[in-house]
Amino acid sequence: MRRKLTLTLALAVVLAACGGGAEPPASTVPPETSTTSVSTTTTTAPTTTTTVDDGFPVTVAAANGDVTVEERPVAVVSLSPTATEMLFAIGAGDQVVAVDDQSNYPEEAPTTDLSGFTPNVEAIAAFEPDLVVVSFDPGDLVSSLEALGIPVLLQPAAVSLDDVYAQIEQLGAATGNLAEAAALVAEMQSEIDRIVASVPDRDEPLTYYHELDPTFYSVTSSTFIGQVYSLLGLESIADPADTDGFGYPQLSVEYILDQDPDLIFLADTKCCGQSPETVAERPGWSELTAVRSGAVIPLDDDIASRWGPRIVEFLGVVAEAVATLEPVG
C-alpha cells in the first residue's frame, strides 16, 4: 500500500515537474494599464502610495490563498519549470534570479541546483527572493517561506486551459507585467482558435495513444493534456482504462494493440529514448495502423508534460499530424 502511495505521489510529481517556454511578449503597454478583457482571478489592490503608481502592493488569488506582494519583485525564484516558462514569456525574465534544476527552458533561465521536488527552504532563502513560485508543496514549503516573510505563489498543475491563463495572469499581476500577461493570453487564445478551426470535423473521432513512458502509462481525455487533444476532436484510448479517475492509467499492451489507435504520440522521447523506430520494433507493434501509416509522432517530453505557453506549439504539432492522415472519407 505504501508503495502504491509512493508511486502515485511520484507520478503526480513527475507529471507536475516539467514545464515549457514561450511566445514572445507582444506588448509594450505599461504595466499600470491593467484592464484586460480576459477573465482573471487576480485583483489589483487599491494603492495609497503618493509617488509612482506601479500597481503595487497587489493581492493575487493563488492556489494557496490570497498572496500580497508589497513591491514590484526584483528577485523571483521559480521552482516550477512551467512557471519559469511563463515568467520569461511575459517579460518578467530579468526579475528572475534563480530557477529549479528541472527548468530547462528558455535557455537564458538561471538554472540552479534548487529542487522543486525536495525543496530546501534555506537554499531558497539564500537567494533572498521577494517572490517564490512553486507548483508543488511537499508539506511545509509554503508556510515556511511565508514565515520568513517571502510571498509564495502556489501554482499546481493546470487541469484546464483556463487554469493556464489564470496562472499567467497571476504571474503578470505579481511581477508587475499584467499587460504583457494579458497580451500573451490573448495571443495564445487566438492561436489556439486558429489551429482548432484549421482541423476539419470528422464523423468518427480519431483515436490516439499518448505514451508517457515505455511501460505504457498514458493519459485520459480528462487530464489537462487530454483536454488539449479533445480540442481537435481526438479521443484517448485510455479513457475506459481509468477506473480510479486518476487520469494516468497504465495500459496493458494487449489492449493498445487491440484498440489500434489512429495516432500514437510519444511523450517519452527525451526521458526514455523512444522514437517511431523503437515503437515499430516492439513485438507486435509493426502491424498497428499508426505504425504502418507513419502516424507515430515524437513529442518534446517537456512541452507535453508542462502547461506553459508552449502548449500552443504542442497543439500545432498534433494538428499537423491529424492533417497528414487520410482526408475525411
Position 111 contacts another protein (CB under 8 A): no
Q: How far is the CB of 24 from another protein (least distance, A)?
A: 27
Stretch 114-133 residues interacting with another protein (CB under 8 A): 115, 117-118
User: Are the C-beta atoms of 141 and 119 separated by less than 8 Å?
Assistant: yes
Position 10 contacts another protein (CB under 8 A): yes
Nearest to 130 by CA among 61, 27, 82, 58: 58
Site string for another protein, 278-297 (x = CB under 8 A): x---xxx--x----------
Q: Among 215, 293, 294, 324, indicate the residue that binds another protein (CB under 8 A).
A: 215
Position 243 contacts another protein (CB under 8 A): yes
The position carrying cell 487530454 is 226
Q: How far is CA 252 from CA 241, 258, 270, 297, 309, in A?
A: 9, 10, 22, 20, 33
Q: Collapsing DSSP states into helix, strand and coil, what is residue 313? A: helix
Stretch 255-274 residues interacting with another protein (CB under 8 A): 255, 257-258, 260, 270-273
Torsion of CA 31, 35, 40, 44, to 10 degrees: 60
User: What order do you get walking across the sheet with 96-99 strand by strand?
Assistant: 96-99, 76-78, 131-134, 152-154
Position 6 contacts another protein (CB under 8 A): yes
Q: Which stretch binds another protein (CB under 8 A): 1-9, 57-65, 66-74, 170-178?
A: 1-9
Q: How far is CA 9 from CA 6, 108, 132, 134, 142, in A?
A: 5, 31, 23, 17, 18
Among residues 134 and 166, whose Cβ is nearest to another protein?
Answer: 134
Among residues 295 and 315, whose Cβ is nearest to another protein?
Answer: 295
Q: How many residues bind another protein (CB under 8 A)?
A: 43
**Residues contributing to the site for another protein (CB under 8 A):** 3-4, 6-7, 10-11, 13-14, 17-18, 102, 115, 117-118, 212-217, 240-243, 249-255, 257-258, 260, 270-273, 278, 282-284, 287
